[in-house]
Amino acid sequence: MVGAAETLSATAIGPGFARLAWVVAVLPLVSAALTLFFGKRTPGRGWIYGVAAMSAGFVLSVLVLWHFVQGGGAVGSSVTWFTIGPLHVEAGQYVDGLTAIMLIVVTAVSLAVHVYSIGYMHDDVRFTWFYVVLSVFTAAMLNVVIADNLIQLLVGWEVMGLCSYLLIGHWWEERINSNAAIKAFITTRIGDVPFMFGIFVLIAATGFHSANIQQVGELVGGPDVSRGLVSVAALLLFGGTIGKSAQFPLHVWLPDAMQGPTPVSALIHAATMVAAGVYLVGRMYSVFLHAAPEVLGFVGIIGGITMFGAALLALVQDDIKRVLAYSTVSQLAYMVTAMSVGPAGRDAAFFHLFTHAFFKALLFLGAGCVIHAVHSNNMSDMGGLWRRMPVTFWTFAFGSAALAGIPPLAGFWSKDELLVAASKGHAVVFTLMLVTALVTAFYTTRMVMLTFLGPYRGHGEPEEAPAVMTGPLVALALGTVSVGFLGAALTRGVFFKWVFFEVPEPVTFVLWVATLSILAAGLGVLAGWYVYRERPEPDPVFQLGWLSSVLVNKFYLDEVYMNGIVLPVRDRLAAAAVWFDRNVLDGMVNGTARLTKDLALGTDEFDRTVVDSAVNGVAQAAGFTGGLLRYLQSGNVQRYAAFLFVGVVVLAIVITRI
């Protein structure tokens, strides 16, 4: 986050393309509309609009970044959106180096996924619709990134959630897919409600005048807002992160989200949307910094548990996408944990977000090629594919090495920055990161070996994917090799000159940290290779007794949630509400009607015609099928109205004497 002084100086430097960042966000909205209305009539069934919009968006994003490469400051602009009472809400953009980097991440991965899906989704019945949602999603994510206020951010945030729901449930004919979609939506919304309340706290702190992120950032550091309030706001905001970035205990939706088409997993559930939670903490970092230290401590604890726990779960998966899903949860937790160690950790977390987007998208798309070829998600149906699918294998190998933290790939550099940040006085975090790195290297090696090495165990003759699918793999692999250097000492860490909190921090290469990091990665890879070199059957990870059962059952969280919350609420509590409605509330209504009838103004006739039918005794009600008009014409209602009127007047006279 950049201070106000910088915002002002921006105008002096000449903002160039940075002012046009909002166009990047609007482009996919246009392509979504075009695809929706003209897609089916367009040759190729409509992918062209999305690909064109993402390409243009990517180029423009690079131009936006160029402003910051030249040392430009943040720019912002906005228009009035609406006013409600004292609250004035704008629709606007705030563009700093972080925004520029996020624009590049989103448009680059989205472009890769748009192109890749031409091949992967080729035979899909809802091909055009798929592209519509893909574009809407990208627009929503870009809106989150450029939003200069929390309301606008929240809108993008939730629309992303909807797109995620639609795409996880893309093949809604199958119950398991729609279940996963609902689970994702509801679980993230459980985090979004506190997030929304956190926004309320901050808006209230401005005196209900503004939701502007920069204003809030300055306000929380000032004397007008108590530390307790800031702490509450930070904790509530973090709820959104726990949901969206799949952190413990709300991480359970992400592995299930793998039911969606694989390109979706790459874009939404690896590179972009799930990173939005991390982005949120970083963007609102002054709120977290000015909160009580326990808040960042809490962030670290959640991140730490998730980081290590998810890595363990990745060990015991057979579904290749679930390995990657738990790996994503774990890597996101790295970023969250790093946020807890201070501004240096925050910047390092963004660097890891940046590199992770490339290699994790690459891994997912590679897994998609494999799944496309062998028609199964299970690694037990794979093996020996390296020879049959060379491009997929080599690019996947680069991605895996990056994930494992092997130098000089991107993941190594960013993980190194995380470790360096944690090494300064955060021994527990540092150790946990190191241990997790070892586990990560192990499960990554296991995944690569089960998938690509040894004999082929599936059916049919798998073939290499078409160029439209391998092309994006190669592009992302190039990114995986290169982007890490942006944050390395080699380039003096230019990345951190673009993305920083308040002041850029110099990048230092700490030899002992790097050595430990390489040792952990190497040890993990070696151990993985040693265990899986002979393809032991059954897999040793399932031979660990109670530990295996705990892990295979995902720490029993799904069972606890289902039997402890979902079913009791959905079935028992809901039924109780309806019972109460029928028997108590409606019972009183009908009872009153019955009582009125019994006390009825002395006329039997009135009794039988009007009130009686209001009694639940349907039999009686059925008795006068002769038409509804009759008793209204019979004069009873008029008589009733007359009684009513007299009563009203009498009561009115009484009441005026109070």
Partner 1 sequence: MNSGWENWAISIATFLPLVGALVIAFTPRERDRLVRSLGVLITAGALIAGVVMAMGFDYGAGHGLQFEVNARWIPVIGARYHVGIDGISLPLYLLTLALSFLCAIYSYRFVPSPGRTKSFLALQLLLETGMAGTFIAFDLILFFVFWELVLVPMYFLIGIWGSANREYAAIKFFLYTLFGSVFMLLAFLGIYFRSSVNGAHTFDIVQLQQFAASGGFTKAFQLVAFVGVFLGFAIKVPMWPFHTWLPDAHTEAPTVGSVLLAGILLKMGTYGFIRVALPILPDAAREWAPWIGGLAAIAIVYAALACLAQRDLKRLIAFSSVGHMGFVMLAIATLTPIGINAAIFGMVAHGVITGMLFFCVGSIYDRYHTREIAELGGGLMQKLPYLGGVFAFVAIASLGLPGLAGFWGEVMALLSSYQPAQALNTGLFRAFMVAGGVGTILTAGYFLWMLQRVTMGTLPERWRESALPDVVTVEWVSWLPLLLAIVALGVFPRLILGVTDGAVSGLMRLFGG
Q: Closest CB to partner 1 among 178 and 491?
A: 178
Under the binding rule (CB under 8 A), the answer on residue 229 touching partner 1 is no
Under the binding rule (CB under 8 A), the answer on residue 646 touching partner 1 is no
Q: Locate tokens 């890879």: which residue? A: 525
Q: Closest CB to partner 1 among 66 and 624?
A: 624
Q: Closest CB to partner 1 among 201 and 258?
A: 201
Under the binding rule (CB under 8 A), the answer on residue 37 touching partner 1 is no
Under the binding rule (CB under 8 A), the answer on residue 146 touching partner 1 is no
Which of 98, 109, 112, 203 lies at the binding interface for partner 1 (CB under 8 A)?
203
φ/ψ (deg, to 5) at 574: -65, -40
Give min distance, CB of 609 to partner 1, in A. 10
Q: What is the 3-state secondary structure (H, E, C) of 480-491?
A: HHHHHHHHCHHH
How many Å apart are CA 632 and CA 613, to the nearest integer?
A: 13
Q: Closest CB to partner 1 among 158 and 416?
A: 158
Under the binding rule (CB under 8 A), the answer on residue 509 touching partner 1 is no
Which of 5, 511, 618, 619 lies at the binding interface for partner 1 (CB under 8 A)?
618
Identify the burial level of 648 via C-beta atoms within 10 angstroms of its C-beta, where 0-12 means exposed, 13-18 middle and 19 or more buried. Answer: exposed
Closest CA to 284 of 331, 251, 241, 222: 241
* Segment interacting with partner 1 (CB under 8 A) among 257-265, 329-337, 401-409, 610-618: 610-618
Under the binding rule (CB under 8 A), the answer on residue 605 touching partner 1 is no
**For residue 655, what is the DSSP state?**
H
The site that binds partner 1 (CB under 8 A) totals a number of residues, namely 67
Residue type, 157: W
How many Å apart are CA 274 and CA 601, to the nearest integer?
A: 68
What DSSP element (H or E) covers 78?
Answer: strand 75-84
Strand 87-95 to strand 75-84: parallel, antiparallel, or no bridges (unpaired)? antiparallel
Under the binding rule (CB under 8 A), the answer on residue 201 touching partner 1 is yes
Under the binding rule (CB under 8 A), the answer on residue 649 touching partner 1 is yes
Q: Which tokens in the block code for residue 499?
A: 């993305």
Give me the helices (H) in 45-96, please: 47-69
Q: Closest CB to partner 1 among 174 and 294?
A: 174
Which of 78, 178, 376, 380 lies at the binding interface for partner 1 (CB under 8 A)?
178
Under the binding rule (CB under 8 A), the answer on residue 589 touching partner 1 is yes
Q: Closest CB to partner 1 among 537 and 625?
A: 625
Which of 5, 41, 43, 85 lies at the binding interface for partner 1 (CB under 8 A)?
85
How many Å apart are CA 6 and CA 237, to the nearest integer?
A: 25
CA dihedral 291→296→298→299, nearest 10 degrees, is 120
* Segment interacting with partner 1 (CB under 8 A) among 169-177, 293-301, 397-405, 461-469: 169-177
Which of 86, 228, 506, 564 lies at the binding interface for partner 1 (CB under 8 A)?
86
CA dist 446 to 10, 317, 464, 534, 538, Å? 49, 10, 22, 12, 14
Which of 5, 41, 43, 175 lies at the binding interface for partner 1 (CB under 8 A)?
175
Omega into 538 within 30° of 0, i.e. cis? yes
Under the binding rule (CB under 8 A), the answer on residue 581 touching partner 1 is yes
Do the beta carbons of residue 487 and residue 495 sit within 8 Å?
yes
What DSSP element (H or E) covers 112?
Answer: helix 97-120
Q: Closest CB to partner 1 among 586 and 605?
A: 586
* Segment interacting with partner 1 (CB under 8 A) among 52-60, 173-181, 403-411, 547-555: 173-181
Give min distance, CB of 575 to partner 1, in A. 5
Closest CA to 316 of 559, 544, 556, 562: 544
Which of 83, 515, 549, 603 lies at the binding interface for partner 1 (CB under 8 A)?
83
CB-side neighbour CA atoms (13 Å) of 260: 33
Give min distance, CB of 618 to partner 1, in A. 7
How many Å apart are CA 434 and CA 417, to the nearest integer?
A: 12
Give the footprint of partner 1 on residues 207-226 (CB under 8 A).
208
* Segment interacting with partner 1 (CB under 8 A) among 105-113, 220-228, 470-478, 616-624: 616-624
Compute the chain's Rg from CA coordinates.
30
Give min distance, CB of 32 to partner 1, in A. 12
Give min distance, CB of 658 to partner 1, in A. 6
Which of 173, 461, 534, 537 lies at the binding interface for partner 1 (CB under 8 A)?
173
Under the binding rule (CB under 8 A), the answer on residue 172 touching partner 1 is yes
Under the binding rule (CB under 8 A), the answer on residue 12 touching partner 1 is no
Q: Which tokens in the block code for residue 131?
A: 């592209």
Which of 193, 519, 526, 642 lies at the binding interface for partner 1 (CB under 8 A)?
193
Under the binding rule (CB under 8 A), the answer on residue 561 touching partner 1 is no
Longest dimension (CA), the chain: 100
Q: Closest CB to partner 1 among 166 and 382?
A: 166
**For residue 393, what is the DSSP state?**
H
Do the beta carbons of residue 324 and residue 356 sit within 8 Å?
no
Under the binding rule (CB under 8 A), the answer on residue 599 touching partner 1 is no
Full DSSP string of 576-639: HHHHIIIIIIHHHHHHHHHHHHHT-SS-HHHIIIIIGGGSS-HHHHHH-TT-HHHHHHTSHHHH
Residue type, 587: G
Which of 12, 511, 599, 658 lies at the binding interface for partner 1 (CB under 8 A)?
658
How many Å apart are CA 445 and CA 403, to the nearest integer?
A: 10
Give min distance, CB of 73 to partner 1, in A. 31
Residues near partner 1 (CB under 8 A): 81-87, 154-155, 157-159, 162, 165, 169, 172-173, 175, 178-179, 181-182, 185-186, 189-190, 193-194, 196-197, 200-201, 203-204, 208, 569-570, 573-578, 581, 585-586, 589, 593, 610-611, 613-614, 616, 618, 621, 624, 628, 644, 647-649, 651-653, 655-656, 658
